[in-house]
Amino acid sequence: MTSSSVAAPLSSLTGVIERITFHSEESGYTVARLNTGNVKQLITVVGSFANIQAGQTLQLQGTWTEHPQYGSQFQVVKYQETKPATLTGIEKYLGSGLIKGIGKVTARRIVNHFGLETLDIIENQIHRLSEVPGIAKKRIAMISRTWDEQKSIKEVMIFLSSHGVSTTYAVKIYKQYGDSAIGSASTRSVIATVKTNPYQLAIDIFGIGFLTADKIAVNVGVSPSSKFRYRAGVLHILDKASEDGHCYLPESQIIPFTKELLTTEEHQAEERAIARKRTAEGNRCYSFRNGHRSTVSQRIR
């Protein structure tokens, strides 16, 4: 193994997001400035984030890179949000716009009233926000909904990270399955999909192919003989053939190709099971790309 093939060790940073330079709602790709304690020497951080706002306190893991135009940058591989530990940090976090219903003025009032217990009050006794002048029940309900959304994002990111999913893919997964739901329903939707059939990710999310989905499946404990794995394997072989310019593969080729793909040290793929998952007319197995891909996934059972 050459030295160039060895991955660089990850460095760690902890700090407060001072400002967002760029954020893509679609991909989560973000360029931000991080304050690690010296506001005069902000660090540029780059990576994928499910949701990010100025004022958030983050623990980051990643590598240092040198951009030819913008200089030193920290490329984020993993991240985790932590609670701000100071009154100023709590006030900035709440007033950042991350929590709907709380602006800068309201954030100051809340922190002045509850002090360092502010975040625990919102987490466990949110009804007590009515003690703060100017906060009515309707606004408390809005704050509660947004708080739950932020919690669900954190839970999902922690779950995916703990099962070996990179931050980039974790953001894509959350946005695909989580944005359509709110709070705990969102969390259940993402986790259920990944635990039950991670191979669906290869169909639904651009950039996640069979091999990535297969690694995730191993990490979450999906059986190598799962019907979802066999179905995804057939689709993968058909897709590869399509990329090479083929309209179809004969059954005599797709079965051995798929068997080779699905066989591991712990699992010997079964030809009979592969044959049951093909989509065929006679002995031809067809692959449909682009807008017709869903047709294949529905026909392969």
Structure tokens at 174: 């959350």
Question: What's the whole-number mean pLDDT along residues 228-256?
Answer: 86
- Quote the DSSP letter at residue 60: E
The per-residue pLDDT for range 126-173, each reduced to its tens digit, is: 999 999 998 999 999 999 988 888 887 778 877 887 777 877 788 888
How would residue 64 be classed by pLDDT, with cut points 50, 70 and 90?
very high
CATH number of 203-299: 1.10.10
Q: Say whether pLDDT at 280 is over 90.
A: no
Q: Say whether pLDDT at 1 is over 80.
A: no
12, β-bridge pairs:
61
Contact 23, 47 (CB under 8 A): no
Q: What order of strands is seen across the sheet that includes strand 248-250? A: 248-250, 284-286, 280-281
The per-residue pLDDT for range 6-31, each reduced to its tens digit, is: 566 889 999 989 889 999 887 889 99
> Which residue, 254, 244, 238, is CA-closest to 292?
238
> Which residue, 97, 17, 101, is CA-closest to 54?
17
Q: What is the mean pLDDT of the chain?
A: 82
Total residue count of the chain as it appears in this document = 301
CATH fold for the domain made of 3-82? OB fold (Dihydrolipoamide Acetyltransferase, E2P) (2.40.50)
Give me the phi and psi of 50, to 5 degrees please. Answer: -65, -40
Q: Say whether pLDDT at 256 is over 60.
A: yes
Mind giving me the DSSP string for 148-215? Answer: HHHHHHHHHHHHHHHTT--HHHHHHHHHHHTTTS-HHHHHHHHHHHHHH-TTHHHHHSTT--HHHHHH
Quote the pLDDT of residue 250.
81
In the Cβ-directed half-sphere of 136, how many Cα atoms lie within 13 Å?
1
| Beta pairing class for 57-67 and 11-23 | antiparallel
The Cα angle at residue 167 between residues 161 and 168, in degrees rounded to 5: 145
Q: Say whether pLDDT at 299 is over 50.
A: no
Q: Where are the domains of the chain?
A: 3-82, 87-135, 203-299
Structure tokens at 20: 């967002």
Contact 212, 204 (CB under 8 A): no
> How many other β-carbons are positioned within 10 Å of the β-carbon of residue 23?
15
Q: Say whether pLDDT at 55 is over 70.
A: yes
Contact 47, 62 (CB under 8 A): yes
Q: Say whether pLDDT at 190 is over 90.
A: no
Give me the phi and psi of 35, to 5 degrees please. Answer: -100, 110
Residue 195 or residue 248, greater confidence: 195
